[in-house]
Amino acid sequence: MTMAGEPAKNSPKAAFHEPAVMKRAARATVAVIAVIALASVLWYAQTAIFLTFAGILLAIVLYGASRWLSEMTGLPRLLMLAVVALAGLAGLALAGWTAGPTLGTQVALLAQSIAAGVTTLTSQLSTLIDRTAILENIDLVQVLGNFMSQWGIATGATTVAMSVFGLFSAGLIVLFFGIYLAADPHTYVNLVARLAPEDKRETLLELLYETGDLLRRWLIGQSITMSAIGVFTYLGLLILGVPIAFVLALFAGLACFLPYLGPIIGAIPIILVAGGESLNLALWALGLYCCVQFLESYLLTPLIQARAVSMPPAAVILNQLVFGAVFGLLGLALATPLAAAATVPLRHVFGQDEDGKTDGA
């Protein structure tokens, strides 16, 4: 006996219903397995993915420079691409030949100065607070070492040597990938677009080109900001008489590639090196760096980066923290351009333009 309205187990309706349920369960299982497999592949291939994205950023720079030179000279763009690539390599080789030994010496002095600065600042701060035990039992060298290791920064001579070799290899991969991509970007963009259904290819092409244009504007703005920060920091450190001013300013400028967190990272070696001389010099160096960052935050960023791409500060900081903690130094370095690239499809999904206004509003 069966209840009213309930199909019998052997009825045609029940026979039709059970395979449908099994089919949906099988599809759900396959989808879950596919997501787990994709996440595993992305995790194990994270270095390749980040290097690919770095190559894309380099390709954007090379393509923009070669196209600008081609428009200015009327010569073929591929010829100008070769000129840009060779000029860049020649510039790096010349810089390494002329400034390499001095830069290497200053980098070695930087490590010694940071260690001396940590010791000096610890003792002076302990004296300043009436020799309380707050800082006397804290090994700041070990604290800094643990902090750097959490972000994937190598410590130890052997690890540093392996990291330098790995960095050189990664640089070559990014260089050649960027050159090949810049030589014929439209072919690769169209190849990616073919992965989408035919009715969605035009939309995907628009998103890819819009993303490339946004990253180009972000890179231009960021390069101007980094150069300005490096120059102003170098001049200020020279005036104050802080040792190895060039390396400190170079690091401060490179650190500004990371908005918001970069200035904090760039200030640490400046304060420690200046603290190796005296506490007063460390305070002066801190004041100088605060003035430079004030100039960057209230003048350079509104005039340059706000016109290039606008991203919520909280979202950028959270993105940097997550990528740095999960993927290490490489993830931290590329967190912001990845966030900038992600704003394009997100605006498309939520129907917003670049000013944050909803379409049709």
Half-sphere exposure of 241 (CA within 13 A, CB side): 5
Highest mean pLDDT (candidates 118-122, 128-132, 255-259): 255-259
Query: pLDDT band at 202, cuts 50/70/90?
Result: confident
Rg (CA), the chain: 27
DSSP 78-136: HHHHHHHHHHHHHHHHHHHHHHHHHHHHHHHHHHHHHHHHHHHHHHHHHHHTTT-HHHH
The residue with greater pLDDT, 236 or 21, is 236
Q: How much is the pLDDT for 361?
A: 46
Query: pLDDT band at 107, cuts 50/70/90?
Result: low
Query: pLDDT band at 128, cuts 50/70/90?
Result: low
Q: How much is the pLDDT for 331?
A: 82
Q: Is there a contact between 304 and 224 (Cβ–Cβ < 8 Å)?
A: yes
Mean pLDDT score, 334-361: 70
Q: How much is the pLDDT for 325?
A: 80
List CB contacts of 110: < 8 A, sequence separation 6 or more.
244, 247, 248, 269, 273
Q: Is there a contact between 243 and 271 (Cβ–Cβ < 8 Å)?
A: no
Show me where the domains of the chain are located: 48-350
Phi, psi at 310, each rounded to 5°: -110, 120
Mean pLDDT score, 279-288: 85
The residue with greater pLDDT, 234 or 349, is 234
Query: pLDDT band at 3, cuts 50/70/90?
Result: low
> What distance in Å separates the CA atoms of residue 112 and residue 308, rounded to the nearest whole number?
39
Tokens 């070669």 -> residue? 66
- Stretch (H or E) spanning 340: helix 313-350
pLDDT digits (tens, 9 = 90+) for 146-179: 555 544 444 444 444 445 556 677 778 888 888 8
Mean pLDDT is lowest, of 18-27, 208-217, 225-234, 347-356, for: 347-356
**pLDDT beyond 60 at 232:** yes
Q: How much is the pLDDT for 129?
A: 57
pTM of the model: 0.67
3-state secondary structure at position 1: coil
Q: How much is the pLDDT for 138?
A: 53
The residue with greater pLDDT, 67 or 126, is 67
